[in-house]
Structure 1
Amino acid sequence: MQKKTDQWSSKLGFILSSAGAAIGLGAIWKFPYMTGMNGGGAFFLLFIGFTIIIGLPLLIAEFIIGRGAQKEAVSAYKVLASNNGWSIIGKLGVFGAFILMSFYSVVGGWVLIYSAMSIPGLIITGTADYQGLFTTITGNPGITILGHALFMIINIIVISFGIKNGIEKASKVLMPLLFIFFIILVIRAVTFEGAMEGLEFFLQPDFSKLTGENVLYALGQSFFSLAVGISVMVTYSSYLKKDVSLPMSAGSVSIMNIFVSLLAGLAIFPIVFSFGLEPTEGPGLLFIVLPEAFAQMPLGELFLCLFLLLFLFAVLTSSFSMLEIITSAFTANKQRSRTKVAWIAGFIVFLAGIPAALSSNVLVDVKIFGLTAFDASDFLVSNIILPLGCLLIAIFITFVMDKALVKQEFYYGRNLSPGLFRLWFPIMRWLVPVTIIIVFVSSLGML
């Protein structure tokens, strides 16, 4: 198969960039508030279980499909299957990335605004009404649209430079710094008075509170946080050399994702309970809790500024992967300019995200099946498109793709035990699709 000219320069660059694509808002922003709204410790335990048993095998599968085809998401399925109809998986992924990016960029805009405000020290003030600050920012249509627009422009510029010069170089430096700052935040959070109540909420599971809806959300969160189901990782791994072990890389990404999710919970919930906040606050939880924590630290304004800038980077690395899958799908034949496609795609995503940006102000009373435009977009991606995409990928790699090629890609780059493939393949063929179907069907009562 023809080698791609645009490739990752190193295994570390690929792993950190994939981790950046997976972590971002999924682990740092969405995981805490989803955990808070869905029962705490029981949700967290389900999330870990789904990530290891379902998400990790799926991540390996997407890596195999991408590197095996050496093509982006849509073309990969055409190359690996005799029936071009399977390209519907890649097309579903591009559509899912488009919808996901449209509301993801809105949150990215919030992070961008908070980052900009933190530089002159405008967040930590004497009033300490951080909930009111978040409501003021998201309630202003001009500010939310501006943040959304600026966030998209940053994405477009980076994607225009391509893989090695855009995404990889930044990931190698800034991802480790984010881990360090998160650990500092956790150390401070657990020392607050009343922190133990928050730790119990997060780490002590109460399964009596779980419903089919909670289980579906936990499954969706595991897919969302690993970025599986929309073939983002198919596109990323298509740039990967053959000397990299896909199972080991997928394991590294999954462990980092669980670790950051754990850090997010350990940082957020002790502060929530210490300051009498509600864990069910929703999407604004992180933006309310972070200033509360840093305000209690020496040099709090400086640390908040640095943390927000690193958080902004984590958010951007995730959004890069989404715009990358859209851009690469339309530049696969090399007949279109990457820069031109990135600008056009980014502008269309910006337009599509305007309803989500306005759903907390101008369009707050406009509902789609009882949900705002923002929440409806999130639900569509996390709980319908991602599980469906994962189900189709599981069927494709075990029933359609050549098993010899699958096995070959599985073992490239590392002398792994022969039994590992014999364990992974049946999990992908039976356990993954059956689990997705059972969880989805059990949750239909809420739709």
Structure 2
Amino acid sequence: MSSRDQFASKIGFIFAAAGSAIGLGAIWKFPYMAGTNGGSVFIFLFILCTVFIGLPILIAEFMIGRRGQKDPINSFKEQAPGKPWFMIGWLGQAATGLILSFYSVVGGWILSYIIRATSMSLTGNGVDFEALFTDIIANPVEVLIAQATFMLITLIIVQAGIKRGIEVASKWMMPLLFIFFILLFIRSVTLDGAIEGIKFMFVPDWSYLNAETFLLALGQAFFSLSVGVSAMITYASYLSQKEKIVSSAVNVAIMNIFISILAGLVIFPAVFALGYSPEQGPGLVFIMLPAVFEQVPFGGFFILIFFILLLFATITSSIALLEVVVSIGIGEKTNTRKRATWIYSTLIFMIGIPSALSFGVMSDFTIMEKSFFDFIDYITNSIMMPIGALLISLFAGFHYTKKISKEEFQSSPLLFKIWLTIVRYIAPIAIAVILIRSIFA
């Protein structure tokens, strides 16, 4: 038995893995992607892509991590000695560090909104939410302090380890996330006119059924499941060999789909009920939603609940991202968990400073005609994640023998054949198309 720290329970692992997937991708990005791409058709394609492409790759990451019982780099080195597959681990470490560098900036924005919501300064004063958002993200002192605070929260949880830190935090945050979401869902769907938002989500407009919408839905499925950056490999490395990875992966995928749809049911009925457009884009959460809830009874309370919920979801993702980097630092045998956590958190914070300042003092600085924030977002989500997912799919599909794969899969022969076909052929082709589109779009 490995001496490596392990999750104390299967539910703890599922909550932690689901928390990694359920973050800004499900609550922030999914609603605005659905809002700008036809609603119901995008949602339908997203579910299909999650189940038939994202889930098989998630299973592959669980398989690699649990079998290796080490950090991503050393896991690949042990399972493929003398071969360059370990570079997937280096790619994952770089990608997760970069993602967290701008993810922590958004986490800081959420903290800024929570402070204002707590003091009730978001309601009752005729607030111009678009101007407020612009002012917050352009204030260098506020964004850096908020970013540092968010990183400190993440650091404290990861420093405590798997059982006492990540698992405990996930066990508390995920149920609270569900409870808060149900509360907001009830408030949103009971507004007069909310039925139009529900129709937007579930009555198909087939004019949006095209290759572009499919590719966007597929990209969202990868992003929302956190596949391709070794986060799930890392979490699965703390999983006992007794646990069945297929059922765990299915539970994570179901929870991710459920929260994504619930996020839409919180946002779109309220948006339609109060006469707004669902095509607001990335500002839907920070600009549109406060404006919507300001106009309903106890709106200030619901705004506060929503941003606390968003903070929980963001933290459960950020601790997974940091854990990838820290686990590799510990795996190199040069750091204790505490030392590695502080070193890498500080480094990630420093890398994230230009992203934090991208909408203020560094707004004129661009790379490839993108702000520093948008450039880091682009290279991680559009380049590094697809490459990582592609390589992980090929490793699980072709490096493992069928005997090894069956031993790890631990499910029905028919499901195994379907999974193997997808990770060998269907998923690589789909990912390659996304990658080509991202590069040449």
Q: Would you say same fold, with TM above 0.5?
A: yes
- The match for 1:87 is 86
Q: CA deviation at 1:134?
A: 1.8
Q: Within 2, Cα distance between the matches of 1:420 and 1:4?
A: 32
Matches within 5 A, 1:152-191: 152-191=151-190
Q: Within 2, Cα distance between the matches of 1:18 and 1:197?
A: 34
- The match for 1:376 is 375
Matches within 5 A, 1:125-274: 125-209=124-208, 214-274=213-273
1:408 aligns with 2:403: no
Q: CA deviation at 1:112?
A: 1.3
Q: CA deviation at 1:309?
A: 2.2
- Secondary structure of 1:284's counterpart equals helix
Q: Within 1, Cα distance between the matches of 2:170 and 2:345?
A: 21
Residue 199 of structure 1 aligns to which amino acid in structure 2? I
Q: What's the CA shift string for 1:209-238, capped at 9, x where partnerless? A: 466554433222111111110010000000
Going from structure 1 to structure 2, the CA distance change for 1:166 and 1:304 (only over 3 Å counts) comes to: same
Q: Within 1, Cα distance between the matches of 2:65 and 2:254?
A: 21
Q: CA deviation at 1:298?
A: 4.4
- The match for 1:419 is 414
- The match for 1:338 is 337
Q: What's the CA shift string for 1:8-27, capped at 9, x where partnerless? A: 00000000011111101110
Going from structure 1 to structure 2, the CA distance change for 1:273 and 1:300 (only over 3 Å counts) comes to: closer
Q: Which moved more, 1:373-382 or 1:161-170?
A: 373-382
Q: Within 2, Cα distance between the matches of 1:444 and 1:171?
A: 35
Assess if the C-alpha contact under 8 Å between 2:201 and 2:264 holds in 1: yes
Q: Within 2, Cα distance between the matches of 1:380 and 1:35?
A: 22
Assess if the C-alpha contact under 8 Å between 2:219 and 2:434 holds in 1: no
Q: CA deviation at 1:304?
A: 3.2
- The match for 1:436 is 431
Q: CA deviation at 1:310?
A: 3.0
- Secondary structure of 1:404's counterpart equals helix
- The match for 2:398 is 399
Assess if the C-alpha contact under 8 Å between 1:220 and 1:386 holds in 2: no
Q: Within 2, Cα distance between the matches of 1:319 and 1:299?
A: 31
Assess if the C-alpha contact under 8 Å between 1:213 and 1:443 holds in 2: no
Q: Within 1, Cα distance between the matches of 2:438 and 2:298?
A: 47
- The match for 1:54 is 53
Going from structure 1 to structure 2, the CA distance change for 1:106 and 1:207 (only over 3 Å counts) comes to: farther
Assess if the C-alpha contact under 8 Å between 2:122 and 2:290 holds in 1: yes
Q: Within 1, Cα distance between the matches of 2:143 and 2:208?
A: 35
Assess if the C-alpha contact under 8 Å between 1:4 and 1:70 holds in 2: no
Assess if the C-alpha contact under 8 Å between 1:4 and 1:239 holds in 2: no
Q: Within 2, Cα distance between the matches of 1:213 and 1:441?
A: 13
Superposition RMSD on alpha carbons, in Å?
Answer: 2.1
Q: CA deviation at 1:256?
A: 0.4
Q: Within 2, Cα distance between the matches of 1:207 and 1:445?
A: 27
Q: Within 2, Cα distance between the matches of 1:100 and 1:444?
A: 18
Q: CA deviation at 1:419?
A: 1.9
Assess if the C-alpha contact under 8 Å between 1:13 and 1:168 holds in 2: yes
Going from structure 1 to structure 2, the CA distance change for 1:444 and 1:302 (only over 3 Å counts) comes to: closer
Residue 435 of structure 2 aligns to which amino acid in structure 1? F
- The match for 1:115 is 114
Residue 427 of structure 1 aligns to which amino acid in structure 2? I
Going from structure 1 to structure 2, the CA distance change for 1:175 and 1:46 (only over 3 Å counts) comes to: same
Assess if the C-alpha contact under 8 Å between 2:4 and 2:69 holds in 1: no
Q: CA deviation at 1:322?
A: 0.4
Q: Which moved more, 1:265-274 or 1:235-244?
A: 265-274
Residue 393 of structure 2 aligns to which amino acid in structure 1? A
Going from structure 1 to structure 2, the CA distance change for 1:333 and 1:361 (only over 3 Å counts) comes to: closer
Going from structure 1 to structure 2, the CA distance change for 1:428 and 1:158 (only over 3 Å counts) comes to: same
Q: Within 1, Cα distance between the matches of 2:160 and 2:400?
A: 32
Q: Within 2, Cα distance between the matches of 1:304 and 1:238?
A: 38
Assess if the C-alpha contact under 8 Å between 2:157 and 2:169 holds in 1: no
Q: Within 2, Cα distance between the matches of 1:402 and 1:84?
A: 16
Q: What's the CA shift string for 1:39-64, capped at 9, x where partnerless? A: 43332222212111111001110000
Going from structure 1 to structure 2, the CA distance change for 1:341 and 1:34 (only over 3 Å counts) comes to: same
Assess if the C-alpha contact under 8 Å between 2:42 and 2:214 holds in 1: yes
- Secondary structure of 2:61's counterpart equals helix
Q: What's the CA shift string for 1:75-113, capped at 9, x where partnerless? A: 111111133310011111111101111111111111111
Assess if the C-alpha contact under 8 Å between 1:35 and 1:43 holds in 2: yes
Residue 301 of structure 1 aligns to which amino acid in structure 2? G
Assess if the C-alpha contact under 8 Å between 1:144 and 1:357 holds in 2: yes
Q: CA deviation at 1:284?
A: 2.3
Q: What's the CA shift string for 1:89-146, capped at 9, x where partnerless? A: 1111111101111111111111111122222222223314323322221222221121
Task: List runs of 5+ in structure 2 lacking aligned partners.
Answer: none
Assess if the C-alpha contact under 8 Å between 1:47 and 1:222 holds in 2: yes
Q: Which moved more, 1:225-234 or 1:268-277?
A: 268-277
- Secondary structure of 1:6's counterpart equals coil
How many residues are aligned here?
441
Assess if the C-alpha contact under 8 Å between 2:280 and 2:288 holds in 1: no
Q: Which moved more, 1:13-22 or 1:149-158?
A: 149-158
Identity of aligned residues (%): 47
- Secondary structure of 2:281's counterpart equals coil
- The match for 1:21 is 20
1:43 aligns with 2:42: yes
Residue 181 of structure 1 aligns to which amino acid in structure 2? F
Residue 312 of structure 1 aligns to which amino acid in structure 2? L
Q: Within 1, Cα distance between the matches of 2:309 and 2:438?
A: 36
Q: CA deviation at 1:296?
A: 4.5
Going from structure 1 to structure 2, the CA distance change for 1:272 and 1:139 (only over 3 Å counts) comes to: farther
Going from structure 1 to structure 2, the CA distance change for 1:425 and 1:291 (only over 3 Å counts) comes to: same
Q: Within 1, Cα distance between the matches of 2:72 and 2:58?
A: 14
